[in-house]
C-alpha cells in the first residue's frame, strides 16, 4: 500500500489515528498520576509493541497481557514487567511461564490451589519465582474466588509454595461493590500475617472512578487507548476520542434502502454492544443515520432508508466497531495515520496468540 491518504487505501482496512491514541494515553496516565495509582495498561486491545512503548514511556509501570503468547511478544520487544491476568493451566504453559520468568519480571493470577500448585511445581523445579495475585470475583461472575475469606486462604496457600511470591489481590472489572469486597479480603489476608503489596483493578468503563474505591493501588485498562462503540454507549469516551475505524467500501446497493459493505464479522466481529437499546454492528461516521443491522463474514448489511445522501457503490465509509479489541485481533496489519495522512503500517505482532 503506497497511498498517502487513508481514503485511498484498499478496503477493508483498520486505521489508527495516532494523535488520538497519544491523547488517550496521556489522559489516562494523568488520571493515574493524580490519584497515585500504578498504571499497567492491557495490551489485548492494541496487540502492538509500538503502542505499548508509548504507554510505558508515558509512565506505565508495566504491561498486562491475557495470553502467554502475547507476553512472549512483549518480552521479545523489550518490556521487562508483564502481568498475565489469566489462570495458566497445564505443564506446557507452566514451562513457557518459567522461560519468561527467566528473562523478565512476571506476575500471574489464579483462583484455585490447583492453578497455583501446578505452576509452583514447574517454577520451583526451574529455579525461578513469579508474583502471584489472587483473583477475586467481586461481582462480575466470571473467574475468581467467591469470598474475601477464600481470597485470604488462597493467599496463605500461595505464600507457602516455592516458585511463587504472593503479591496481592486482583479483580476484573472494578465496580462499586469491588471496594468493600477487596477491603475485607485485604484485612483477612493481613490478619494472616501476609503483606498485600498490590490490589489490582481493571476495566476501561469505570477506570476513572478507581480512586473512589479507596483500596485499589494499580489500574489495568486496555480499551481506553482506542475507544469503540461500546465505550460511547457506556458513556466513558466520546466519538472524538475513538482512534480506530475500519474503512469499508460499498459493494452493492441492491435496493433503495439497503447498502452492502465489504466489511463483515471477519473485520468487525459479531460482538453486540452489551448495552440495552443499542443495536447494530458499527457506526458509520459518514452516515450517522445508517444502521448496520446484520453482518455475515464478509458482508455488512446497512439500512440507509433514513440517510439524506445515500452511499453509492464505490463509496468508502469509516465504521466505528462495536468492540475494538476483537476487531484488532482480526487484522494482520493496521494503518497508522495523523489527520488521515498515512504515517506507517504496523503488523499486529500479538494477534492470534490463542495460547
Q: How far is the CB of 12 from a copy of itself (least distance, A)?
A: 5
Tell whether the torsion through CA atoms of 282, 283, 289 and 290 is positive or negative: negative
Q: What distance in Å separates the CA atoms of residue 333 and residue 322, rounded to the nearest whole number?
A: 19
Q: Which residue has the cell 505464600?
A: 159
- Asked if 254 is part of the footprint of a copy of itself (rule: CB under 8 A), the reply reads yes
- Asked if 146 is part of the footprint of a copy of itself (rule: CB under 8 A), the reply reads yes
- Asked if 220 is part of the footprint of a copy of itself (rule: CB under 8 A), the reply reads no
Using alpha carbons only, what angle is made at residue 73 by residues 13 and 99, rounded to the nearest 5 degrees? 160
- Which stretches of 257-300 are DSSP H helices? 265-268
Q: Site for a copy of itself (CB under 8 A): which residue of 27, 92, 238, 339?
A: 92
Give the helix/strand (H/E) hosting 13. Answer: strand 13-17
- Asked if 147 is part of the footprint of a copy of itself (rule: CB under 8 A), the reply reads no
**Nearer Cβ to a copy of itself, position 55 or 265?**
265
Stretch that binds a copy of itself, among 122-130, 157-165, 173-181, 329-337 (CB under 8 A): 329-337
**Nearer Cβ to a copy of itself, position 31 or 86?**
86
Q: Site for a copy of itself (CB under 8 A): which residue of 197, 258, 285, 347?
A: 258
Q: Site for a copy of itself (CB under 8 A): which residue of 20, 253, 310, 318?
A: 253
Q: How far is the CB of 138 from a copy of itself (least distance, A)?
A: 12
Are 172 and 84 contacting, i.e. CB atoms less than 8 angstroms apart? no
Q: Under 8 Å CB-to-CB from 336, ≥6 apart: which residues?
A: 15, 16, 18, 342, 343, 344, 345, 346
Residue 139 has φ and ψ, to the nearest 5°, of 135, -10
Stretch that binds a copy of itself, among 27-35, 71-79, 200-208, 321-329 (CB under 8 A): 321-329
Q: How far is the CB of 353 from a copy of itself (least distance, A)?
A: 9
Which segments of the chain are extended strands (E)?
Answer: 13-17, 38-39, 63-65, 81-84, 105-110, 130-136, 164-171, 198-202, 218-220, 244-255, 258-261, 283-284, 291-295, 300-303, 316-320, 333-338, 341-347
**Per-residue string for binding with a copy of itself, 50-89, x by CB under 8 A?**
----------------xx------------------xxxx
Q: 68-76 and 91-101 helices cross at what angle (nearest 10)?
A: 20
Tell whether the torsion through CA atoms of 279, 280, 285 and 286 is positive or negative: negative
- Asked if 2 is part of the footprint of a copy of itself (rule: CB under 8 A), the reply reads no
- Asked if 337 is part of the footprint of a copy of itself (rule: CB under 8 A), the reply reads no
- Asked if 168 is part of the footprint of a copy of itself (rule: CB under 8 A), the reply reads no
Query: What is the binding site for a copy of itself (CB under 8 A)?
Result: 10-13, 44, 66-67, 86-90, 92-93, 111-112, 114-115, 118, 137, 141-146, 249-255, 258, 260, 262, 265-267, 269-271, 296-299, 301, 312-314, 325-326, 329-332, 352, 354-355
Amino acid at each position: 500500500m503506497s497511498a498517502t491518504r487513508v481514503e485511498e487505501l484498499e478496503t477493508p482496512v483498520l486505521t489508527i489515528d495516532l494523535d488520538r491514541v497519544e491523547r488517550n494515553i496521556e489522559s489516562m496516565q494523568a488520571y493515574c498520576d493524580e490519584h497515585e495509582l500504578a498504571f499497567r495498561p492491557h495490551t489485548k486491545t492494541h496487540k502492538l509493541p509500538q503502542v505499548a512503548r508509548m504507554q510505558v514511556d508515558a509512565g506505565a509501570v508495566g504491561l498486562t497481557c491475557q495470553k502467554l503468547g502475547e507476553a512472549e511478544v512483549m518480552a521479545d520487544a523489550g518490556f521487562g514487567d508483564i502481568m498475565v491476568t489469566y489462570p495458566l493451566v497445564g505443564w506446557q504453559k507452566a514451562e513457557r511461564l518459567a522461560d519468561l520468568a527467566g528473562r523478565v519480571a512476571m506476575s500471574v493470577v489464579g483462583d484455585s490451589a490447583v492453578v497455583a500448585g501446578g505452576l509452583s511445581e514447574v517454577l520451583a523445579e526451574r529455579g525461578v519465582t513469579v508474583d502471584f495475585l489472587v483473583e477475586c470475583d467481586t461481582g462480575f461472575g466470571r473467574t475468581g474466588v467467591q469470598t474475601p475469606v477464600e481470597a485470604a486462604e488462597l493467599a496463605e496457600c500461595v505464600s507457602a509454595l516455592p516458585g511463587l511470591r504472593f503479591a496481592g489481590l486482583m479483580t476484573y472489572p472494578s465496580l462499586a461493590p469491588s471496594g468493600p469486597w477487596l477491603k475485607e479480603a485485604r484485612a483477612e489476608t493481613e490478619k494472616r500475617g501476609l503483606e498485600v503489596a498490590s490490589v489490582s483493578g481493571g476495566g476501561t468503563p469505570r477506570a476513572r472512578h478507581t480512586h473512589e474505591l479507596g483500596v485499589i493501588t494499580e489500574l489495568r485498562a486496555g480499551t481506553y487507548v482506542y475507544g469503540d462503540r461500546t465505550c460511547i454507549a457506556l458513556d466513558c469516551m466520546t466519538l472524538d476520542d475513538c482512534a480506530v475505524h475500519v474503512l469499508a467500501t460499498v459493494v452493492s446497493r441492491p435496493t433503495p434502502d439497503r447498502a452492502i459493505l465489504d466489511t463483515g464479522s471477519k473485520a468487525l466481529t459479531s460482538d453486540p454492544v452489551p448495552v440495552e437499546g443499542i443495536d447494530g454492528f458499527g457506526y458509520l461516521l459518514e452516515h450517522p443515520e445508517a444502521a448496520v443491522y446484520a453482518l455475515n463474514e464478509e458482508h455488512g448489511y446497512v439500512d440507509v432508508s433514513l440517510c439524506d445522501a445515500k452511499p453509492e457503490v464505490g463509496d468508502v465509509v469509516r465504521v466505528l466497531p462495536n468492540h475494538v479489541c476483537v476487531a484488532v485481533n482480526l487484522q494482520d496489519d493496521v494503518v497508522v495515520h495523523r489527520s488521515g495522512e498515512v504515517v506507517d503500517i504496523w503488523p499486529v505482532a500479538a494477534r492470534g496468540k490463542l495460547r
